[in-house]
């Protein structure tokens, strides 16, 4: 691996410059105005892959009815293939090239679409999530090719450009290709998350699922003046606040009966993984900026972030939210909350329990107002962390970072993990490049230069270890 690693080091400046070119394309998939830039990002990525003799194809996804009611053309998905040697195994790598919205007025210290280096950190939207990792794969391939070292396995790529907007159309496309493009896959790797710490790499083997809920309460046919009608009607907002406040207690325990009944019990093997994980409670608290955490031990905080269900309240639609006073009784309000679910909970089960609980609470309260509760969601994902795919990645981490990686789960959701697992029946590994403080989705997103360059080496070493299996 030394020639490959040396090439990566020698070309670090050029790789960083190429990342800057990618960051400069404002591929915000949620924006109607910037949708052409999203397509441009896809076409730019395809061109970079073509330079490496990766056989690429753009697969169209059709149209989308945007929340603004405009009908937009979805950006295509890139399928790529490099090598088809039947004697070699095949890895599928997934990534995305769209990004979250970002403007200087959001609180960025730099222009989010100009790559800016400060103290060894590369600031810009998409540096960590997920343009940096996508380019890391291409950098690793280039290093092998330039050094005339045969790639140790066949590679396939799926790079999409709607991940930050629910991956519209991707699941159906992937399932339609399970007997063709996805047929001969042996391993799957996704690099779309981050380390748990700032200093130690990790491998991620589990994600929580999520159920979204909308609680609609209607009290009248029109908004009412509080001075004229206040005290004479049952107000929708009062009912909704009562219902939302009944969902979770001060310590984060969900109050819905039966919600914990199907949660998979922790095994002694899984429990043993927490002790060695590099995680500092006080650093975590300071990074968040809160006064006190809900739990006092590292193990309990991590378990409540990863493997226990949680409920979060997100907002109220229909209520006045601008500065100043407005003495209006809203005719209808909709509360929004979500439940992060874990194995072996199912979205149908959790949705049914939550809906029944809220309807019973409303009935007990005795309000005559109309209540409508709706919900939908996706399941959790859990992989076999003893699989040879994970063992190869562990060896790669030790080769590049000279340390045993943390074995982690995450509280968020990446639906494509389940889709690819179901389409191929193969092991899925999450192999992150960036550190915990990269600020994906936040202001001043960055990736450390060391993470970007060593992460490229990690991908190269991982390919090498897989090729030995």
Among 98, 130, 278, 465, the active-site one is 98
Instruction: Name which of 419, 440, 407, 445 is nearest 205 in CA terms.
Output: 407
- Cβ contacts of 245 within 8 Å, gap of 6 or more: none
Q: What is the 3-state secondary structure (H, E, C) of 74-107?
A: CCCEEEEEECCCCCCCEEEEEEECCECCCCHHHC
Residue 21 contacts residue 127 (beta carbons within 8 Å): no
The answer on whether 192 is annotated among ligand-binding residues is yes
DSSP string, 234-259: --HHHHHHHHHHTSB-TTS-B-STTT
The answer on whether 340 is annotated among ligand-binding residues is yes
Distance CA 161, CA 172 (A): 15
Residue 433 contacts residue 441 (beta carbons within 8 Å): no
User: Can you say how many angstroms the Cα of residue 134 is from the centroid of all Cα atoms in its chain?
Assistant: 15
Q: How far apart are the first and last CA of the chain?
A: 16
Q: Is 421 a catalytic residue?
A: no
Helices (H), 177-280: 226-229, 236-245, 268-272
- How many other C-beta atoms are found inside a 10 Å radius of the C-beta of residue 139? 26
Q: Is 163 a catalytic residue?
A: yes
385-406: b (≥16 Cβ within 10 Å) or e: bebebbebbbbbbebbbeeebb
The answer on whether 408 is annotated among ligand-binding residues is no
Among 48, 142, 160, 163, the active-site one is 163
The answer on whether 441 is annotated among ligand-binding residues is yes
The answer on whether 291 is annotated among ligand-binding residues is no
Helices (H), 147-255: 170-176, 226-229, 236-245
Residue 27 contacts residue 41 (beta carbons within 8 Å): yes
Q: CA distances (Å), 56 to each of 45, 48, 70, 81, 420, in order? A: 10, 10, 30, 7, 19
Instruction: Tell me which DSSP letter residue 325 carries.
Output: -
The answer on whether 96 is annotated among ligand-binding residues is yes
The answer on whether 327 is annotated among ligand-binding residues is yes
Determine the length of the chain: 469
Distance CA 75, CA 61 (A): 7
The answer on whether 295 is annotated among ligand-binding residues is no
Distance CA 12, CA 8 (A): 6
Q: Which residues are annotated as a binding site?
A: 96, 129, 164, 192, 225, 327, 340, 413, 441
Q: Which residues are annotated as a binding site for Mn(2+)?
A: 96, 129, 164, 192, 441
Residues serving a catalytic function are 98, 163
Q: Which residues are annotated as a binding site for substrate?
A: 192, 225, 327, 340, 413, 441
């Amino acid at each position: 691996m030394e020639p490959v690693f040396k090439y990566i080091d020698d070309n670090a400046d050029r790789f960083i410059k190429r990342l800057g070119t990618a960051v400069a394309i404002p591929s915000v998939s949620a924006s109607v105005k910037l949708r052409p830039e999203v397509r441009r990002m896809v076409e730019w990525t395809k061109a970079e892959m073509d330079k490496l003799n990766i056989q690429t194809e753009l697969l169209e996804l059709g149209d989308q009815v945007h929340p603004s009611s405009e009908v937009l053309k979805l950006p295509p998905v890139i399928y790529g293939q490099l090598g088809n040697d039947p004697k070699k195994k095949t890895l599928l790598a997934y990534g995305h090239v769209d990004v979250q919205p970002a403007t200087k007025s959001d609180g960025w210290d730099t222009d989010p679409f100009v790559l800016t280096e400060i103290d060894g950190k590369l600031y810009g939207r998409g540096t960590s999530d997920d343009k940096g990792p996508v380019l890391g794969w291409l950098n690793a391939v280039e290093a092998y090719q330039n050094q005339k070292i045969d790639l140790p396995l066949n590679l396939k790529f799926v790079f999409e450009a709607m991940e930050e907007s629910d991956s519209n159309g991707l699941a159906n496309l992937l399932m339609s290709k399970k007997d063709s493009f996805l047929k001969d896959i042996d391993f799957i790797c996704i690099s779309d998350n981050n380390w748990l710490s700032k200093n130690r790499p990790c491998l991620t083997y589990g994600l929580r699922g999520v159920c979204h809920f909308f609680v609609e309460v209607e009290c009248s046919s029109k908004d009412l003046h509080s001075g004229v009608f206040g005290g004479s009607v049952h107000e929708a907002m009062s009912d909704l606040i009562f219902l939302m406040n009944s969902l979770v207690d001060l310590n984060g325990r969900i109050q819905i009966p039966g919600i914990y009944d199907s949660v998979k019990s922790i095994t002694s093997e899984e429990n043993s993984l927490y002790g060695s994980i590099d995680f500092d409670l006080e650093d975590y608290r300071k990074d968040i900026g809160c006064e006190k955490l809900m739990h006092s031990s590292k193990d309990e905080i991590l378990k409540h972030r990863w493997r226990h269900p949680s409920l979060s309240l997100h907002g109220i639609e229909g209520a006045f939210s601008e500065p100043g006073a407005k003495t209006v009784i809203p005719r209808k309000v909709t509360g929004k909350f979500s439940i992060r679910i874990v194995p072996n909970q199912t979205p149908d089960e959790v949705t049914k329990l939550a809906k029944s609980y809220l309807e019973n609470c409303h009935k007990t309260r005795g309000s005559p107002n109309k209540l409508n509760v709706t919900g939908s969601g996706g399941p959790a994902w859990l992989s076999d962390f003893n699989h040879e795919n994970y063992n190869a990645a562990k060896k790669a981490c030790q080769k590049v970072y000279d340390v045993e990686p943390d074995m982690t789960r995450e509280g968020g959701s990446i639906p494509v993990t389940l889709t690819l697992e179901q389409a191929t029946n193969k092991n899925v590994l999450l192999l992150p490049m960036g550190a915990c403080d990269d600020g994906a989705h936040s202001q001043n997103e960055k990736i450390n230069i060391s993470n970007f360059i060593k992460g490229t080496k990690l991908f190269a070493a991982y390919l090498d270890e897989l090729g030995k299996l």
